[in-house]
Structure 1
């Protein structure tokens, strides 16, 4: 993929998922020569599996004020960013201004949804309370048994597979390089500075800086002293991809309940997800998990039961101890991080590129998400 760089790269990015590609695209746009390396497929891993919700409002959580600010800023950045990618690479990133509908299916869930809506309003977020009849007015396929709904009109969605194709095209146009099937074994550390990477075949590649963007496996790279590492754990998510042979129309907005979500692609395809499992690096797809997702989703959207199954998959979200990302310069000179995005990797993609490349260029970064906060015992 992409043309070869004639000279040594300014920056090597380890990982060709959404984070690594976003960094490479922004680096190329700002005049750097990025080289992205990935031992697997391009845009594989969690990026390939992701549903693509851009939902800072629906996913706002108590005690995560700094992360909410970051998520809102990323959502605001998205329209201009996808326009930029389209202009650069000529590929549609699959961005949809869909809005989100949060639905409660029983009294307990309705009470919890009311409390969550109050919290969102207190934080200045746009949510509108809908009676069951009004909710079915905007989404007629909803079950008549739902108890309450809230609309979050500012939450949207993107197709991560279309988005990464657009990113790859933009990187190519910008003069960057992306190589699949090239596994980085360890980082080269010389005199407390990261000077490049050593590949699985023992060859070395020198660069002015290295960005670790290897998702859930970011903590497994060799060569780094313990104090310079970022603690990243895998959080498994299973989901289904479905298709309506009749085409679009079953659901227009993203639908979220306490147990699941359904993301329409706008062309008759839907993504149903997702579990949250702390099972290490296990990526198996299990019948029980898929059964539970379908059962819960069909209870609020009965027509889902008639759709064709296209794909069942599992991915590993990269989580940090505080579930906030690690973005920017690390504990060693030449070391930078773009990992730990947990559920927000697709949403945070444009800001990940902006913030990490700012750090590469010596510009100010948001210290609340500094990779060094874990060594200092500080949380975002």
Structure 2
């Protein structure tokens, strides 16, 4: 490490920490990445949707700006990762469907507002949806198409990021950090998900449990959708994300501390909601039920900013960690190099009074 002018320790080995470590190493930093179980946690359980436009809502300008900036970076980000494994992409568009009149009105509201912000969305009628995705339920009334809202296989992504880190000279250290004072590098990046709040006073990051199902295709089953399908069933958000070998179904959301056990109620709701979107989904093999802990903040925006001369925070991405990976890596590298990225304005940790700064 003595051949490098600058050194940085990245604490956290999910998609955010791995991408930051990779970017920093490419930029000439000597990088150590610390995590007791690299490539696991919330990143391992994620659905992999990249959907900032179809999840937009009036008044959430910062979330849309940050999400759209990251979505724009994903094609190049994914292309660079193909040097280290297969393509991470599984779909190239998303379709959000409405099962009742209230949901249909919400889709119209989203389309109008997001279009006014300069992004293109298209409202589809029942017949158009049937033509595009005939396996979907006949009770669907309308849909919102977002071309370019791709999805990625989170586990392929994690493997590619680890390979990219190794190839770039990142030192992967499989142990936990209990105090940032243990680290002797020039700079520190804290990207430890729900553990971040234990390592920096006042960070408003809490665990929110999310359960998913992974389904495997079988001979003769109804084909999976060709794009990500999202909807609201009895007020619960639901999604179907195609994979090479099947479908990921998600996701529940519970405030349950650090409990990662999958519940019968969660599985029941996921199956019922999935069947409302795609009635024939019961033909698929259920081969995995998993739960992860999303690192959530009170306003559902990440924490990206410098809190001391040595420490940069990049955490609290909630359910959008995969989506926000490229823009977070860019923003964090800018902070390490003494500048800032305008696209993430509004994500500074200091927007919360409890976040303490040290000189």
TM-score (norm 1): 0.87
**Counterpart position of 2:178:** 185
Native 8 Å contact 1:103 1:148 kept in 2: yes
Taking the aligned partners of 2:112 and 2:189, their CA distance within structure 1 comes to: 40
- Matching residue of 2:59: 63
Q: CA deviation at 1:29?
A: 1.0
Is the Cα contact below 8 Å between 1:78 and 1:350 reproduced in 2?
yes
SS of the equivalent of 2:240 reads strand
2:301 pairs with one of 300, 324, 329: 324
Note the C-alpha offset of 1:93.
4.2
> Helix, strand or coil: the match of 1:206?
coil
Q: Following the alignment from structure 2 to structure 1, what is the Cα–Cα distance between the partners of residues 341 and 129?
A: 42
1:268 is the counterpart of 2:265: no
Instruction: Count the aligned residue pairs.
Output: 347
Residue matched to 2:223: 249
- CA displacement 1:280-325 (0-9 Å, x = unmatched): 2111110111111111110120111111012101111111122111
Q: Deviations over 1:19-69 (max 9, x none)?
A: 100110110111101110102x21110000001001111111232201211
**Counterparts of residues 86-97 of structure 1 (less than 5 Å):** 86-87=82-83, 90-97=84-91
Aligned position for 1:24: 21
Shift of 1:376: 7.7
The one-character-per-residue Cα deviations of 1:256-297 (angstroms, maximum 9, x if unpaired) are 0013000001x2321100012111211111011111111111
- Which of the numbers 79, 83, 90 marks the counterpart of 2:79? 83
Correspondence for 2:32: 35
Query: In the alignment, which of 249, 252, 255 is matched to residue 278 of structure 1?
Result: 255
Please name the residue that 2:192 is paired with: 214
Partner of 1:157: 151
1:306 alignment counterpart: 283
Separation of aligned partners in 2, 1:178 and 1:236: 27
CA pair 165-6 structure 1, distance change in 2 beyond 3 A: farther
Distance (Å, rounded) in 1 between the aligned partners of 2:340 and 2:141: 47
CA offset digits 1:208-237 (Å, max 9, x no partner): 11111111221012xx4x4xx421111111
Structure 1 residue 147, shift from structure 2 partner: 1.4
Tell me the SS of whatever aligns to 1:99. Answer: strand
Contact 1:235–1:279 (Cα < 8 Å) also in 2: yes
Cα distance in 2 for residues equivalent to 1:355 and 1:213: 13
Contact 2:222 2:283 in 1 (8 A): no
Aligned-partner SS, 1:270: strand
Give the 3 Å change call, closer, same or farther, for CA 30–249 of structure 1 in structure 2. Answer: same
Contact 2:188-2:310 within 8 A present in 1 as well: yes
Which deviations, in whole Å up to 9, do the C-alpha atoms of 1:332-379 show, x marking residues without a partner?
2201111011121101101111111111111234442222221389xx
325, 340, 343: which is aligned to 1:349? 325
Q: Distance in 2 between matches of 1:308 and 1:59?
A: 29
- Is residue 2:143 matched to residue 1:143? no
User: Are 1:93 and 1:166, in contact at CA under 8 Å, matched by a contact in 2?
Assistant: no
Task: Could you tell me which runs of 5 or more consecutive residues in structure 2 were left unpaired when the two chains were aligned.
Answer: none
Q: Matches of residues 55-134 of structure 1 in structure 2 within 5 Å? A: 55-87=51-83, 90-134=84-128
Contact in 1 for aligned 2:91/2:226 (Cα 8 Å): no
Displacement, 1:97?
4.2
Contact 2:222 2:280 in 1 (8 A): no
Q: Within the alignment, does 1:364 sit opposite 2:340 as a pair?
A: yes
Q: Does 1:46 align with 2:49?
A: no
Alignment of 1:187-206 (within 5 A): 187-188=180-181, 197=182, 205-206=183-184
**Partners of 1:93 and 1:376 in 2: CA distance:** 41
SS of structure 2 residue aligned to 1:155:
strand
Partner of 1:192: none
Q: Retained in 2: the 8 A contact 1:12–1:37? A: yes
CA contact (8 A) 2:11 2:189 kept: yes
Q: Distance in 1 between matches of 2:222 and 2:316?
A: 34
Partner of residue 272 from structure 2, selected from 272, 275, 295 = 295
